[in-house]
Amino acid sequence: MKGTVSICCFLALLLLQATAEVEELDHVLRDRSHIDETLRLATEEKAADYVAAIQKLRKIYHSSIKPMEQAYKYNELRQHEISDGEITSKPMVLFLGPWSVGKSSMINYLLGLQDSPYQLYTGAEPTTSEFTVIMHGEKIRSVEGIVMAADSSRSFSPLEKFGQNFLEKLIGIEMPHKLLERVTFVDTPGIIENRKQQERGYPFNDVCQWFIDRADLIFVVFDPTKLDVGLELEMLFRQLKGRESQIRIILNKADNLATQDLMRVYGALFWSLAPLINVTEPPRVYVSSFWPYDYAPDTSRELFKREEISLLEDLNQVIENRMENKIAFIRQHAIRVRIHALLVDRYVQTFKEKMSFFSDPELVFQEIVDDPDKFYIFKSILAKTNVSKFDLPNRDAYRDFFGINPIASFKPLASQCSYIGGCLLEKIEKAITNELPGLLSSINSGKQPGLSSCEITGCGEKPKNRYRKN
């Protein structure tokens, strides 16, 4: 009897050893040297030049753009207040997609966190229930959402408006890492189609929109086995409208499929997303397996490697152009503020023209707001200023805007001048036409020409700068 038990124990031990050996073979770590090489993490940055440019950009914003914002309450129209933290922040890379498609695993792979105490938790079930911000810090530590929102030096203070329930679902992770010195990653909860937004306890779609509006690069990740498009995913792509140049679609875990099956899945993915992405040039799709372990045998290893390098080059392009993109963003914001001020000024002038001694102010202004085309509010702006009709805001937005802000609380633009400070309109126009383009030119002229990462690694494709015409 004892002999039988010993044999059984011995066989069980052999089976466990064999299983461990198979798992070890299945989890051979992939070489990561191409990540550091493509992202040029060994190259030291010119920190002094970058800081000087940021300070100059901050000065232009505070002296020439923010006074107009405050005078005409632009933030109450667009709900987008630019803080110092947002001006000085690093580029943000946002990861979106259904649950358990490999978003957290991809971040672990890019940062080399696998099998470390600091890796993001991953699994086959929905694992990420928080918005996780991975950023640079002098030491590894976690930061609670309420602390991130209370810190005005960060760019996350506006998130307080989504309530305490959301802040409990927001967490920051700081760690010393070369890549995080140049970029910030945001991992999001996976989309679960059978879960209603109310069950989350906070406005999930509004929070996603906040991050989408501020992201420099958006990775929408899919699993070959989860290509169903439901209401939650449709809502997400509606929120991504107008940001197609920043979207990259990733078909992850591609080495789980044979080549023929992968082609079918690729076609099915486009078929599912075609009604949601109604643009002439669809976002780029990357097909690979973004996790730290080696590709499965008998799969398209070379293709997956090239796709991965091309994606890294996209990421590197965002990092290299972060200052140009930030200047372009501030200039775009200034154009919108200027248009808003011109429209409010026109509403004020029209109101004063239509008012008489016997007129009811509320009825007169209600007529103007209900039918601005009757009084040529928007057409006069197009005729008298160099404003594109495609940049004009929605007319209905001003009905709500003036419902909160009485027309009598605004002064005409002509009276927004002072002997020392000058005129608000002249200052913002100078920033748009001279100061911001001049800052952009000085940065471009200071760049030293060199080989691109693609020329070094041979990925064969250089991504486009979305702010630069070819």
Which residues fall within 8 angstroms of residue 344, CB to CB, at 6 or more apart?
72, 410
Task: Evaluate whether 291 touches 109 at the Cβ level (below 8 Å).
Answer: yes
The three-class DSSP label of residue 170 is: strand
Distance from C-alpha of 271 to C-alpha of 266, rounded to nearest angstrom: 9
What is the mean pLDDT, run by run of 10 residues, along the chain of 470 residues? 50 46 57 89 75 92 95 86 86 92 91 80 64 93 93 85 93 93 93 65 90 93 80 86 89 88 85 77 88 87 93 93 92 93 93 86 88 88 79 87 90 89 92 94 64 42 42
Quick one: 129 and 267 in the same domain? yes
The pLDDT value recorded for residue 127 is 52
Task: Evaluate whether 134 touches 180 at the Cβ level (below 8 Å).
Answer: yes
**Would residue 11 count as lying in a domain?**
no
| Pairing mode of beta strands 92-96, 217-222 | parallel
CA 327 to chain centre: 16
Quick one: 245 and 351 in the same domain? no
Domain extent at residue 424: 28-88+322-447
The pLDDT value recorded for residue 461 is 45
pLDDT (tens digit per residue) in 375-432:
888 888 887 777 888 888 888 889 889 988 998 899 999 999 988 888 999 999 999 9
Q: Which residue in 183, 86, 181 sits closest to 137, CA to CA?
A: 181
Which residues fall within 8 angstroms of residue 145, CB to CB, at 6 or more apart?
159, 166, 167, 168, 169, 170, 171, 172
The pLDDT value recorded for residue 196 is 57
The pLDDT value recorded for residue 82 is 85
The pLDDT value recorded for residue 23 is 44
Quick one: 157 and 60 in the same domain? no
Tell me how far CA of residue 341 lies from CA of 67, 72, 287, 413, 414, in angstroms: 11, 6, 46, 8, 11
370 is written with which tokens? 């209900």
The pLDDT value recorded for residue 234 is 85
Residue reference for tokens 């329930």: 165
Q: Whole-structure pTM over 0.75, yes or no? A: yes
Task: Evaluate whether 440 touches 324 at the Cβ level (below 8 Å).
Answer: yes
The pLDDT value recorded for residue 17 is 52
**Would residue 409 count as lying in a domain?**
yes
**Would residue 454 count as lying in a domain?**
no
- Beta bridge partners of residue 97, listed in sequence order: none
In 3-state terms, the chain is what percent helix, strand and coil (to 5)? 55, 10, 35
Task: Evaluate whether 327 touches 443 at the Cβ level (below 8 Å).
Answer: yes
Question: Which of 268, 299, 330 represents a domain boundary (last residue)?
Answer: 299
Quick one: 281 and 428 in the same domain? no
The total number of structural domains in the chain stands at 2
**Would residue 78 count as lying in a domain?**
yes
